[in-house]
Homo-oligomer: A and B are copies of this chain.
Amino acid sequence: MSAPIIAIDAMGGDFGPRCIVPASIASLVEFPSLNLVLVGQAPLLEGLIARHSGVDRSRLRVEHAGEVVAMDERPAQVLRGKPDSSMRVALEVLRSGNAQACVSAGNTGALMALSRYVLKTLPGIDRPAMVAAIPTSRGHCHLLDLGANVDCSAEHLYQFAVMGVVAAEALGISSPRLALLNVGTEDIKGNQQVKLAASLLQQAKGLNYIGYIEGDGLYRGEADVVVCDGFVGNILLKSSEGLASMISARMEALFKQSLGSRLVGSLALPLLRRLQGDLAPARHNGASFLGLQGIVVKSHGSAGPDGFQSAIRRALSEVREDLPQRLHDRLEHLLL
């Protein structure tokens, strides 16, 4: 395969280009065949690049885009009113074939709306979904949707399931155990959409559907792919991040106060922090938009350079796996 090119929305996220430019340059060092297109306000970006020495400019191109999508801007407003935003121009670079993936840390809703508008969805997919790997007792679980779709029909959940399985397979998990998130594991449990989605999944061939899973089962690692609507997924992800932070803070306080031992604290705190990082995977590793005619990875808005670099890494691995084509091929067989 030829040298991969990734288009970077260099203006998004809480920290903007000051975080994204160094992360991009670090990625060029990490992957010697990688090419990047940094999209955003060219003078600003060139100024930031110039601070680094030894940058291989033959692999780093800057594409100017005058506008920036604010983190709290409405998706509809961005679609209509900002034709020259860095986010949109980065997606256009991808659509026109001048890149194989796009990475942004910007406004999630706007990125989803623009991605759908610019790239379109794969045949048979009504709505793209957002997926991330969250840690479990046994490894990781790929949870989707994480917030792109707050209202979902049974058919949407079914499509998410198929996409989640294909994405997990592309990451090397063979015959991933697929489950629907529900309030109980008995057949009678759940709302109408979930029950209907279960009956669709039971009929589907070639999926390792294991049934319902509860919130605790997810963290016990009982499934490799877990499907829910974006309202539930977003709340599960954010409450888990909040709980992990709270536990870390309490443990720090307990170790500092109760034990009164600097030794214990100095041994325990790095472990706690590593664990906390582990538990905020979206913040650290990025989340993929699945179901588009192109690869889009969303880095967490509050991610630092390491987090953004992880998102680039994720995008690159999806390019290497040719994820949209794999999805397209499998969807033909699996969609209703």
Contact = CB atoms under 8 A, between A and B. Distances in A.
Interface in A131-166: 135-137, 147, 150-151
Contact of A247 (B191, B214, B279): B279
Given A216-B241, A216-B242, 12 more contacts: A183-B235, A215-B238, A216-B238, A218-B242, A235-B236, A236-B239, A239-B239, A240-B240, A251-B275, A264-B267, A264-B268, A268-B268
A170 interface: no
Contacts of A251: 251, 271-272, 275
A146 to B, nearest CB: 9
A121 to B, nearest CB: 21
A206 B151 CA distance: 31
Interface stretch (A255-263, A291-299, A311-319): A255-263
The interface residues of chain A, by DSSP majority, are classed as helix
Which residue of A186, A190, A230, A240 has the most chain B CB atoms within 10 A of its CB atom? Answer: A240
Interface in A164-223: 181, 183, 186, 188-192, 214-220
Contacts of A220: 242, 245-246
A255 B268 CA distance: 8
A244 B243 contact: yes
B275 A74 contact: no
A247 B244 contact: yes
B230 A242 contact: no
